[in-house]
């Protein structure tokens, strides 16, 4: 895989990722999930420990996907979110991995659920740590980004979670219009990568 990401941006994202681990996810878990004791205390930045039974609970991110899908003209498919969080802002098709599926299966399933078509040549490109507000709980996530192609664009049928979806030229993308933090960061990275690809094509 070709890495074309600004090193300063990577440094910033790592810092942000560590910060997420300290957020309210820790505080919401008051009782030991193994024995139910309330003597469930902070062990370190990554875990809580039960003083009653000794169980240590490590907080790991939930796996999620989002996909950059382009049509034959190289335009990017973007969706408008119909629901909170970030209702009304732009987004990429994606969602959380189900138990027992691979992350590739998750990416394809979420695309089919949200826009009603199956992507071609879908491949993993990079990942970003994030947080997602779900029913009042801020959960840490590991968002995995894919890119692929949509051939039968006429068959696109947005799901209830999607207010509308449309294709936009990459050079007209505005990351600020994307409501979820990691998606916004990912769109910036995708634009950087696309510009580098364009330059390479031009100078080849
Ligand atoms: Zn316990």
- Long-range pairs of 1-4 with CB within 8 A, sequence gap ≥ 24: 1/124, 1/125, 1/126, 3/126, 4/192, 4/193, 4/196
In this prediction, residue 15 has a pLDDT band, given cuts at 50, 70 and 90, of low
Domains of the chain: 7-58 (no CATH), 62-203 (3.90.79.10)
pTM over 0.95: no
Q: To the nearest whole number, what is the mean pLDDT of the chain?
A: 86
125 alpha carbon – ligand 1 mean position (Å):
40
pLDDT digits 0-9 by tens, 48-75: 999 999 999 998 999 999 999 999 999 9
| Ligand 1 centre distance from Cα of residue 26 (Å) | 16
Whole-number Å distance, alpha carbon 17 to ligand 1 midpoint, is 28
How far apart CA 124 and CA 128 sit, in angstroms, is 12
Q: What is the pLDDT of residue 204?
A: 61
What's the distance, CA 81 to chain centroid? 14
Q: How far is CA 102 from CA 4, 88, 106, 109, 186, in A?
A: 26, 30, 6, 10, 21
Report how far apart, in Å, the C-alpha atoms of 59 and of each of 42, 44, 47, 171 are.
11, 11, 6, 38
Percent with pLDDT over 70 in the chain: 86
Which DSSP state fits 178? Answer: B
Distance 99 CA to ligand 1 centre (A): 25
Ligand 1 centroid – CA 58 distance (Å)? 13
pLDDT band at 2 (very low <50, low <70, confident <90, very high): very low
Give the model's pLDDT for residue 134. Answer: 75
Mean pLDDT along residues 81-93: 91
User: What average pLDDT score do residues 79-89 get?
Assistant: 90
CA 25 to chain centre: 18
Is residue 156 over pLDDT 70? yes
């Amino acid at each position: 895989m070709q890495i074309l990401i600004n090193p300063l941006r990577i440094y910033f994202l790592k810092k942000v990722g560590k910060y997420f681990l300290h957020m309210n996810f820790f505080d919401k878990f008051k009782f030991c999930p193994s024995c139910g004791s309330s003597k469930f205390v902070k062990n370190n930045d990554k875990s809580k420990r039960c003083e009653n039974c000794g169980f240590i609970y490590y907080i790991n991110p939930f796996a999620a996907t989002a996909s950059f899908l382009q049509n034959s003209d190289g335009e990017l498919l973007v969706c408008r979110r119909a629901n909170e969080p970030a209702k009304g802002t732009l987004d990429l098709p994606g969602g959380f991995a189900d138990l027992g599926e691979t992350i590739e299966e998750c990416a394809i399933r979420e695309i089919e659920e949200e826009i009603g078509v199956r992507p071609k040549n879908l491949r993993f490109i990079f990942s970003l740590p994030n947080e997602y507000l779900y029913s009042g709980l801020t959960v840490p996530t590991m968002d995995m980004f894919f890119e692929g192609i949509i051939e039968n664009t006429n068959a696109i049928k947005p799901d209830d979670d999607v207010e509308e979806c449309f294709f936009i030229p990459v050079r007209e993308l505005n990351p600020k219009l994307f409501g979820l933090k990691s998606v916004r960061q990912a769109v910036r990275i995708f634009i950087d990568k696309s510009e580098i690809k364009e330059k390479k094509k031009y100078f080849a």
